[in-house]
Amino acid sequence: MKKFLNWIKSPSSDFILFILLLVLINIAGYNSFARIDLTKTKSYSLSKGSKVLVKNLESPLSVRVFFDENLPSPYSSTALYVKDLLSEYKGAANKNFSLINVDLSKKDNVQLAMDYGLNKIQIQEIKNNEVGFKQVYMGLVLTYGDSVEVIDGITNSDGFEYKFTSTITKMIGTLDALSSLKAEEKIDVTLYVSESLKLFGIQGTDDLESIVEKSIEDANKMNMNCLNYKVVHPLSDEVPALIEKYGIQGIQFKDSNGTIQNAALGLIIEQNDKFRILPVNVQKSIFNYEISGLDYLSESITQNLQSLVSKVTNIGYVTG
């Protein structure tokens, strides 16, 4: 014991004690999610608006991080920045904020990424002095109430805090707006499609109504079942008024008697006197005409629903 005390007092112990002190500081800092930001631009410092937002969460917000390991530079720096900043959010938030780093070395988690709609992105890497490419995940999935939002393809840190905080704000605003609806109130989603369009052999016409219906069902699962779907087959003389009111796509043609007829196609989401037009229309392809806008339609419905019911909030933020 005497030798140990003498060693402690001697200069030879200074370096080891210094290292031990650093380790203890790092452990304490990790447990408290606190970090002294020594970067010149305060890259890891959250704006006041972001801190206030997560500190006052009223419902559980889950953030799942889907980033592959061993990313090459500069993507590794982006991944580190994102994870560090998310830790800052965690440190500033109340108990309703949870942060989950998903291990993508497990097949079940890769399937989970696919189920959420995350896409692998192609990045360049240099290995053994040769330029190659690899497919990786670099995205986040946010869950708030029944709402799910994906931030995908995060290949750089530019504007990340603004995008992340804006997404949370939008989700909160949507949930608040939908929660305030009365039990009998619904947001109307109406497909206007003229029966005459089926006469032209437009690709996708036969399955259009069922595809839209399935997309509405999927969107309803994430939005408190607030959507009411209906299909309207407008007559020729009803089409001009619909085009004037909503700006949906109109098509003119001559029938077998040479009479000019009107047809229409449009998908509208509407609440009271406000509406949004979803991008479903007829487009010319290489060989014929086809219905476009059906891919990822449930996501498009959710985005337009959020735009319809959410209030705009201005957010101050720090660029990364």
Residues 64-99 pLDDT 10s = 999 999 899 899 999 999 999 999 999 999 999 999
User: Can you give the length of the chain in residues?
Assistant: 320
For 117-169, how does the pLDDT look when each residue is reduced to its tens digit (9 = 90+)? 899 999 988 776 677 789 999 999 999 988 889 999 999 999 999 999 999 99
- Residue 67 in contact with residue 137, Cβ under 8 Å? yes
* Cβ–Cβ < 8 Å for 96, 58: yes
More confident residue, 101 or 1: 101
Specify the range with the lowest mean pLDDT, choosing from 9-23, 80-94, 212-226: 9-23
How far does the chain reach from its first CA to its final CA, in angstroms?
52
Q: How far apart are CA 77 and CA 83, in angstroms?
A: 10
Which residues of the chain are in CATH 3.40.30.10 domains? 34-179
For 68-179, list the strands marked E by DSSP: 97-101, 121-127, 130-136, 138-144, 147-151
Does the reported pTM lie above 0.75?
no
User: Mean pLDDT, to the nearest integer, of 266-295?
Assistant: 92
Contact status, residue 153 vs residue 38, Cβ threshold 8 Å: no
β-pairing verdict for 130-136 and 138-144: unpaired
Dihedral angle of Cα 78, 96, 146, 156, to the nearest 10 degrees: -10
As a whole number, the mean pLDDT across the chain is 85
**CA angle (279, 285, 288) in 5-degree steps:** 115
CATH topology of domain 187-309: Glutaredoxin (3.40.30)
Query: Residues 263, 239: contact at Cβ < 8 Å?
Result: yes
Q: Is pLDDT larger for residue 36 or for residue 309? A: 309
pLDDT of residue 40: 46
The arithmetic mean of pLDDT across residues 175-204, rounded, is 88
Domain 34-179 of CATH type 3.30.70.1400 = no
Strands, E, within the chain: which ranges? Answer: 61-67, 97-101, 121-127, 130-136, 138-144, 147-151, 187-193, 227-232, 249-254, 260-271, 274-278, 281-284, 289-292
Answer yes or no: are the C-beta atoms of 55 and 94 closer than 8 Å: yes
Environment class of 160 (CB within 10 Å of its CB; exposed 0-12, middle 13-18, buried 19+) = buried
Q: Which of 139, 103, 101 is nearest to 121 (CA)?
A: 139
pLDDT at 41: 45
Rounded to 5°, the CA angle 292-188-201 comes to 30
pLDDT at 24: 53
